[in-house]
Structure 1
Amino acid sequence: MKRAFALILCLSTAPLAAAPYAEHQEARPDLFDPATGYRVGRQRAPTPDDIPAPAVLVSPVEARDLLAAGAVALDVFGAQQSRFDELDGTWLVSQQRLSLPGAIWLPEVGRGQLSAVMQRYLAEGLTQATGGDMARPLVVYCVADCWMSWNAAQRIAAMGYARVHWFRLGTDGWLDMGGVLEPVDPVPVNVD
């Protein structure tokens, strides 16, 4: 039993260089937060072909099947103006966002570093979206070549959500497989 625990401990503390995204970090370390590994710069760029566990990469078909089985579609696409009204919490967006049917849009929660307000926004949004069930499956996405969904999926898993699925191709992959998109409004920020 002690050997198995030691082996698991050794595997879980493997250096980041062994991660599938290490080539990205090595090429441009200035784009990553050294404390968390989240990408902090140039969010719209090619993403890795995998994501660190416990989050799991899913294909468009797997995302569709998860959603059909009751998973929450969590869109983390950034708001064009990246800000909300501090008086009422509504997001200032210049264009209507089209997303997966039934999606919940929590903009900006995939940034590499979050303010305390945005961390609370994410936590409250997840609680509302899942009904407080941290085992409810979540499909986290943005668009193809968007690190915000990669960051958000890891952040959500680190918060204790047990079934986090990263849909790397996002709305682009959904459209490519023949899926339809619907208008979605961003969840307001609680400014109380």
Structure 2
Amino acid sequence: MRRIAAATGLLLAWLAETAVAESYGSIRERRPDLFHPESGYRIARHRAPVPDDIPLPVRRVSALWARTLLDRGALALDVFGASQSRFDELDGTWLVSEPRMSLPGAVWLPEVGRGVLEPMIERYLQRELERATGGKKAHAVVVFCVADCWMSWNAAQRIAALGYLQVHWYPHGTDGWADLGWRLEPVEPVPVGLD
């Protein structure tokens, strides 16, 4: 029975990966108001179908490849937004209204996938990436959120722009992982260091 479930999960993953999706260029051409004119990051309606592509050097990866990367020690970086999009100004803890289930061993950095970041959140992303990778720009990073969320698309490019050399975008995120029957575990958002 387990083998049938595993085979079904793999078939679903393959179908999801081969589904026809629109390219970034065609989405941006059709709806330029949703994108930052200079950076090209999505700035509005982050919860919408994502494109089938992402600019290099970031690489789009399937669930199977994401799992292989994580098994080899890649950083699982969850960029799901905090439900209230704010943190406590006194101690930097995120205000979240419900628990987040994520990929095993993930580091959760809320709000770093927005189209435009506040300077404090930019510094937060840089500092926590450096901490999580041991300062190694060649350390592989798998960036994800949930299915149909542009925050992981934005964040993956932002991380590559910071000089990280092995940035992988897993667009199906925790939804795709769960659909395959793979284990998710509770994760707490990393507090914002108050500068």
- Secondary structure at 2:80 match in 1: coil
Q: How many residues align?
A: 174
- Secondary structure at 2:98 match in 1: coil
Aligned mates of 2:101, 2:36 — CA distance in 1: 30
Aligned mates of 1:113, 1:92 — CA distance in 2: 20
The letter of the residue matching 2:172 is L
What's the counterpart of residue 164 of structure 1? Answer: 167
In the alignment, does 2:97 pair up with 1:91?
no
**Shift of residue 166 of structure 1?**
0.0
- Secondary structure at 1:98 match in 2: strand
**Shift of residue 176 of structure 1?**
1.6
TM-score (norm 2): 0.88
Instruction: State which of 187, 190, 193 in structure 2 corresponds to 1:190.
Output: 193
Structure 2, unaligned runs of 5 or more: 1-21
The letter of the residue matching 1:138 is V
- Secondary structure at 2:89 match in 1: coil
**Shift of residue 175 of structure 1?**
1.0
- Secondary structure at 1:150 match in 2: helix
What's the counterpart of residue 58 of structure 1? Answer: 61
Aligned mates of 1:143, 1:61 — CA distance in 2: 16
1:40-189 equivalences in 2 (<5 Å): 40-189=43-192
**Shift of residue 20 of structure 1?**
3.2
Aligned mates of 1:58, 1:37 — CA distance in 2: 21
TM-score (norm 1): 0.89
Aligned mates of 2:89, 2:138 — CA distance in 1: 32
What's the counterpart of residue 39 of structure 1? Answer: 42
- Secondary structure at 2:101 match in 1: strand
User: After the TM superposition, which segments of 4 or more aligned residues of structure 1 sit over 2 Å from their partners?
Assistant: none
The letter of the residue matching 1:123 is Q
Aligned mates of 2:130, 2:57 — CA distance in 1: 19
What's the counterpart of residue 7 of structure 1? Answer: none
Structure 1, unaligned runs of 5 or more: 1-18
**Shift of residue 60 of structure 1?**
0.3
